[in-house]
Amino acid sequence: MDFSPCHSVLAGKTVLLGVTGSIAAYKAADIASSLQKLGVTTHAVLTAAAQEFITPLTLQTLTRNRVITQQFDIGVEMNVEHVALAKAADLLLIAPATANVIAKLAHGLCDDFLSTTALATRAQLVVCPAMNTNMLEHPATQQNLSILRGRGAVVVASQTGMLACGDVGDGKLAPVQLIVDRVAALLLGGTSLAGKTVVVSAGPTLEDFDPFRFLSNNSSGKMGRDIARACEMLGARVHLVAAESYPGFGGVWTKTRSAADMHAALMADFPVADFVFMAAAVSDFSPVRSDRKLKKTEEAAEMRRTRDILAEMGAAKTHQVLCGFAAETENLRAYGEDKLRRKNLDFIAVNQIGGAVGFQSSSNEIMLLDRLGGEHHSGVMDKLDIARWLVQIVTAAK
């Protein structure tokens, strides 16, 4: 298996993005931009109604491809373009999808470029409904969605929230990140971790001195959250233990604050885990908390060591593959090898802190060591690309 890092893990994949006449059409710009960042070649098709909410120029700028806006265009090349795009697409994403377009898709109507292409393609269809609650819940719409699911389409369910009409209810377009992650999972195959449970810790812990102040660190939690995303993309059941989740996360999230909170949550999840990624920056020390605000005139706060969660997992593991993390300022290999051995880990991801990557950065660079003496280097990459690279190596060990 090739473990070489790749900045564009989805390079060579083609998505046809169909945008229909919903107020949520403006979010298609974020979807297109996110797909481009993943290396996906994206072609946008706007229905006539969609053009009332978002301009073709916006999507053409973001996708770097001509946007199709009408069935018959004198500028179309000699090949029949809806057939050419239908053949080229690896996936047809319709986001947002109105009740009208969902009905067309369900019943095979093809009176515009998008519906014609949908009938001509054999690519995976992904539909993201967005509409008024009553329209969504109408039996006709529900039956049409069932028809599409029965044909193998993936429906990314809408969410409850404030709608354009002012009502609060179901019908809000799913979060952009959830849509993009679902698309990426389908393009990547999305099943290599199906049936597996992955536990991920992320971010800092906050250790309270008193009701107003706490001890913490500079960890953003992005690396851990991106590992959780990467595992979700591959079909895993993900348990995320962190102070914050991320938009569209579909797994189990346990919100924690202190090292003690994190210890309790992780040790409860550990027995069912197949893979564990301990990316959290857990405080080594915790102050003895005062119930009142400490004054400047008082003596220094008393500190105590926190429990070593990673060492406890290493001592207790049976079938689990355990990957720890180490952020160091020097002697990365030596400190990493020592931690790998002392804590009985399968892998340790070591990164240097203090530079342009790592904490509070969107990019990272990792040296991954394994218990068999293997050594892997990521190079500098976006943290989500690092996460995919890391998950690929660690999960291949089982």
Q: Does any domain span residue 3? A: no
R_g of the chain, CA atoms, integer Å: 24
Q: Does any domain span residue 20? A: yes
- Boundary-marking domain end, from 156, 188, 220: 188
Average pLDDT of span 236-250 = 84
Q: How many domains does the chain have?
A: 2
CA atoms of 277 and 308, how far apart (whole Å):
15
Question: What confidence score (pLDDT) does residue 244 get?
Answer: 82
Q: How high does pLDDT run on average in the chain? A: 88
pLDDT, tens digit, 9 for 90 and up, residues 78-111 = 445 557 888 899 999 999 999 999 999 999 999 9
268 and 145 assigned to the same domain: no
CA atoms of 303 and 286, how far apart (whole Å):
6
Selected catalytic residue, list 6, 110, 128, 165: 165
pLDDT, tens digit, 9 for 90 and up, residues 320-363 = 999 999 988 888 899 999 999 999 999 999 988 766 665 666 77
181 and 201 assigned to the same domain: no
Q: Which of 112, 91, 150 is nearest to 20 (CA)?
A: 112
Residue 215 sits in a domain whose CATH number is 3.40.50.10300
Question: What confidence score (pLDDT) does residue 23 get?
Answer: 94
131 and 112 assigned to the same domain: yes
252 and 383 assigned to the same domain: yes
Q: Does any domain span residue 69? A: yes
Q: Does any domain span residue 4? A: no
Question: What confidence score (pLDDT) does residue 166 get?
Answer: 77
Average pLDDT of span 43-66 = 96
CA atoms of 307 and 210, how far apart (whole Å):
20
Residue 164 neighbours by CB distance under 10 Å: 13
CA atoms of 360 and 362, how far apart (whole Å):
7
Q: Does any domain span residue 6? A: no
Q: Does any domain span residue 264? A: yes
What crossing angle do the helices spanning 28-37 and 56-63 adopt, rounded to 10°? 10
- Boundary-marking domain end, from 170, 188, 206: 188
CA atoms of 256 and 262, how far apart (whole Å):
6
Range of the domain at 69: 14-188
Question: What confidence score (pLDDT) does residue 7 get?
Answer: 44
Contacts of 85 (CB under 8 A, 6+ apart): 16, 43, 45, 68, 117, 121
Q: Does any domain span residue 8? A: no
181 and 208 assigned to the same domain: no
108 and 179 assigned to the same domain: yes
DSSP secondary structure letter of residue 190: S
Question: What confidence score (pLDDT) does residue 357 get?
Answer: 62
178 and 205 assigned to the same domain: no
Examine the residue annotation and report whether 165 is marked as an active-site residue of this protein: yes
Looking at 2-11, 40-49, 200-209, 289-298, which range is the least confident one? 2-11
205 and 279 assigned to the same domain: yes
- Boundary-marking domain end, from 188, 219, 254: 188
122 and 230 assigned to the same domain: no
Q: Does any domain span residue 5? A: no
DSSP for 228-290, please give it. Answer: HHHHHHTT-EEEEEES---TT--SEEEE--SHHHHHHHHHHHGGG-SEEEE--B--SEEE---
242 and 163 assigned to the same domain: no
- pLDDT band of residue 189 (cuts 50, 70, 90) is confident
Residue 127 sits in a domain whose CATH number is 3.40.50.1950
Looking at 100-114, 263-277, 373-387, which range is the least confident one? 373-387
Task: Report whether 193 contacts 14 (CB < 8 A).
Answer: no
How far is residue 366 from each of residues 198, 279, 336, 375, measured CA to CA in Å?
20, 12, 11, 10
Question: What confidence score (pLDDT) does residue 248 get?
Answer: 67
311 and 357 assigned to the same domain: yes
162 and 225 assigned to the same domain: no
The whole-model pTM stands at: 0.69
